[in-house]
Chains A and B, each alone.
Chain A
Amino acid sequence: MKNNVNYAYLKKELPHLEQQINRFEYINQRNQDFNVVVYGKYNHGKSSLLNALFCKEDHFKAEDKRTTTENATYVDSNTGVAWIDTPGLAADVAGEDDDHANSAVTKEADLILFVHNVKVGELDREEMEYLTQLLQLKKPSQIILVLTQQDQLKSDQFEQVFDNISQQVESLNLIKISVSQTRYFKGIKNNSSNMQQRSNIDELKKMIHQKLADFNQIKSEEYKDLQTQILTSLENKSVEISTKKLHKIEELNNIHLNFQTDVQKLIQKIQQQF
């Protein structure tokens, strides 16, 4: 898919589409890996979710303090999936962590696991804003809302939180799933398939594999959308420039005509002096 599109020029001309152009450029230039980006607020269990998905408890650093400050990528060569762990949102005062996370999610993500820890209750205002912004760039089918640490709440409490969150995201058409990383690892350690099953991690894996199977179609749709969006804006800009050019030509012609009339008047005045 190599081409002669000047991306720097596009970004300069269409600054409001910078993220879309970055993504489009990335799709055109990248390898064929399927990028799964894990995204969410600080301390909501992103790294531990990834560890559960990898079945390796300490693959990605997961602690109660802010540990992930840059994007960490792991490519699974067997499946062709590139897993990207992002820094927790709204944790770094300078906002650098958020920049890393946002860059990964807007540019690299084919699928986003939006992680929320149910222990803190419903999605807060910031999380709702993140989701809304994401949906301006991605299709709902590219986002899975993963509710982590379901084991930390009593079942009735969990159901209440789950219902509330369902209502919050109802209009966003997101797929959601609740998981428990702790229960999953316990299940592995205790060799309890029931516990593993109740953790829902395998169910999440299935969802991700299904997305991987649909990857080409999703990618193709996203690619077309981005292309149309950029093309439409460029064409609008082109019309705008042409109109501006026509106005300038008209302005120049009008001033020139006035000038010619004034010159004629001057000649007439001089003629009267003979």
Chain B
Amino acid sequence: MPLPLLIGLGVAAAAAAVAAVAMSDDNSSSDNDQARLNAENEEKRENAKLVQKEAEAKAKLTARKKLLDTEFLKLAEQYSLPTDDQTRLKSLVIHKTSLNRLKSHIENIWPNSEISKKLSREIKDLDVESKQLNANIQALKEIKNA
């Protein structure tokens, strides 16, 4: 084969090789960009989900607090409960695990309700009256024995 042809072939091959290398470099960069983009998008989606979840959780909490407000006021009206401890009660609707504490907390308010206080006072008065009556009955019976 004549030399010039050989040189020509060699140059062409080299050029082809250079071109191939150049092409290979372009592909790799594009992949990286895509992966980064994907990751960023994923993060954005995750963040969006998180924000949405937080918003939902906040909305649910607000709904629970509102529900507690409304329902507790109904109870308060029905049973004449004191309503000065609602902030504390609201703090117990944040977590599901606090609901039992919320329940016991509301039940602990019962002795301070006007209904409970009124009836307890009446029972106590009747008890005193009953004791006084029995003491006098006893005294009267003792005269009989004397």
Total contacting residues, chain A, CB less than 8 A: 39
Q: Check if B130 is an interface residue, CB within 8 A of chain A.
A: yes
**Distance to closest chain A CB from B112 (angstroms):** 12
Known contacts A235-B137, A270-B93, A273-B60; can you find 15 more A-B pairs with CB under 8 A?
A5-B139, A6-B139, A227-B140, A245-B126, A245-B127, A245-B130, A252-B116, A252-B120, A255-B115, A262-B75, A263-B75, A269-B67, A269-B71, A270-B67, A274-B96
Q: Check if B143 is an interface residue, CB within 8 A of chain A.
A: yes
Interface residues of A in 218-267 (CB under 8 A from B): 224, 227, 230-231, 234-235, 237-238, 241-242, 244-245, 248-249, 251-252, 255-256, 259-260, 262-264, 266-267
**Distance to closest chain A CB from B120 (angstroms):** 7
Q: Check if B99 is an interface residue, CB within 8 A of chain A.
A: yes
**Could you jot down 26 A-B contacts, CB within 8 Å?**
A3-B140, A3-B143, A3-B146, A5-B143, A9-B132, A227-B140, A230-B140, A231-B140, A231-B141, A238-B134, A241-B133, A245-B130, A252-B119, A252-B123, A255-B79, A255-B116, A256-B110, A259-B79, A259-B110, A267-B103, A270-B64, A270-B68, A270-B99, A274-B60, A274-B64, A274-B96
Q: Which residues of B contact A234 (CB under 8 A)?
A: 133, 136-137, 140
**Distance to closest chain A CB from B76 (angstroms):** 11
* Cβ-defined contact, A267 with B102, below 8 A: yes
Q: Which residues of A contact B102 (CB under 8 A)?
A: 267, 270
Q: Check if B25 is an interface residue, CB within 8 A of chain A.
A: no
Q: Check if B107 is an interface residue, CB within 8 A of chain A.
A: yes
**Distance to closest chain A CB from B97 (angstroms):** 10
* Cβ-defined contact, B126 with A5, below 8 A: no
* Cβ-defined contact, B126 with A244, below 8 A: yes
* Cβ-defined contact, A267 with B107, below 8 A: no
* Cβ-defined contact, B130 with A241, below 8 A: yes
Q: Check if A271 is an interface residue, CB within 8 A of chain B.
A: yes
* Cβ-defined contact, B107 with A260, below 8 A: yes
Measured in the bound complex, the distance between the Cα atoms of B140 and A10 in whole Å is: 11
Q: Check if A1 is an interface residue, CB within 8 A of chain B.
A: yes
Q: Which 3 A-B pairs have the closest CB atoms?
A: A245-B126, A252-B119, A273-B64
Q: Which residues of B contact A237 (CB under 8 A)?
A: 133
Q: Which residues of B contact A260 (CB under 8 A)?
A: 107
Q: Check if B37 is an interface residue, CB within 8 A of chain A.
A: no
Q: Which residues of A contact B103 (CB under 8 A)?
A: 263-264, 267
Q: Check if B78 is an interface residue, CB within 8 A of chain A.
A: yes
Q: Which residues of B contact A270 (CB under 8 A)?
A: 64, 67-68, 71, 93, 99, 102
Q: Check if A4 is an interface residue, CB within 8 A of chain B.
A: yes
Measured in the bound complex, the distance between the Cα atoms of B134 and A36 in whole Å is: 35
**Distance to closest chain B CB from A127 (angstroms):** 35
Cβ-defined partner of A3 (8 Å) among B72, B113, B130, B142: B142
Measured in the bound complex, the distance between the Cα atoms of B99 and A267 in whole Å is: 7
**Distance to closest chain B CB from A84 (angstroms):** 26
Q: Check if A28 is an interface residue, CB within 8 A of chain B.
A: yes
Q: Which residues of B contact A273 (CB under 8 A)?
A: 60, 63-64, 67
Q: Mark A128-156, 1 if CB is under 8 A from B, else 0.
A: 00000000000000000000000000000
**Distance to closest chain A CB from B62 (angstroms):** 10
Q: Check if A13 is an interface residue, CB within 8 A of chain B.
A: yes
Cβ-defined partner of B78 (8 Å) among A9, A262, A267: A262
Q: Which residues of A contact B142 (CB under 8 A)?
A: 3
Q: Check if B122 is an interface residue, CB within 8 A of chain A.
A: yes
